[in-house]
Amino acid sequence: MITVLIVDDQELVRIGLRALIDSEDDMSCAGEAADGLAAVGAAKESRPDIVLMDIRMPGVDGLEATRRISADPALEHTRVIVLTTFEVDEYVFEALRHGASGFLLKDTKPAELLRAIRLVAAGDALLSPSVTRKVVSEFVSHTSRPVKPHPYLHTLTDREREVVSLVAEGLSNQEIAERLVVSPATARTHVSRAMTKLGARDRAQLVVFAYQSGLAN
């Protein structure tokens, strides 16, 4: 059973999300919170598999709540999905950087939202790499963010650096395999090793590290 914590300052949104989640046989609502501070407390208490996190809330916002949840060792298995109204939101990059597994638009179709929850709960990528790349790329292109290499960047092999660059380019494991003329299993192994060495929680954070380290083209 996938447990989901719903965080949004609008009661109507929370009611709708709860009804959707509770209608599924393999999901249950672990609770609700109307602001970031309550979200952190609820996450610590219920330790949900997934947190659906609104960003713009009074008091402690979703960005800070995401940071606190991702930094808590007791919640290492909890994954945060950021909900945003805008396709390109300046906070999305920061949310990914602070450990969110990805993002969804609030007008996402119910079936797509449920699919995303299942994908993240299973440890897969929340969205196609190209979608994550689009958000990060759009934000980076409009800022003067300096390149700051990851402290463990030197531990990557040349092939792993190449693979990280391709992940940031928006390629799936299958597409990386085709580009490098290797098997999908080999591509997946390279991605996994790169994530482990850089301490990336998931593929979305690996994309962020690639941009910060200057590996993204």
131-145 pLDDT tens trace: 666 666 665 665 556
For CATH 3.40.50.2300, the residue range(s) in the chain are 2-127
Task: Give the C-alpha separation, 153 to 149, whole Å.
Answer: 7
Average pLDDT over residues 208-215: 84
83: nearest Cα among 168, 1, 17? 17
Average pLDDT over residues 7-35: 96
The pLDDT assigned to 86 comes to: 67
For CATH 1.10.10.10, the residue range(s) in the chain are 148-212
Residue 68 pLDDT > 90: yes
pLDDT band at 216 (very low <50, low <70, confident <90, very high): confident
29: nearest Cα among 41, 14, 44, 13? 14
Task: Give the C-alpha separation, 165 to 35, whole Å.
Answer: 36
User: Which phi and psi angles does 53 have, rounded to 5°?
Assistant: -115, 115
Q: Give the range among 23-32, 102-111, 118-127, 203-212 with minimum mean pLDDT.
A: 118-127
Q: Which fold has domain 2-127?
A: Rossmann fold (3.40.50)
Q: Which fold has domain 148-212?
A: Arc Repressor Mutant, subunit A (1.10.10)
Q: Which residue has the higher pLDDT, 178 or 204?
A: 178
pLDDT band at 120 (very low <50, low <70, confident <90, very high): confident
Cβ-count burial of 41 within 10 angstroms (0-12 exposed, 13-18 middle, 19+ buried)? middle
Residue 15 pLDDT > 80: yes
The pLDDT assigned to 106 comes to: 83
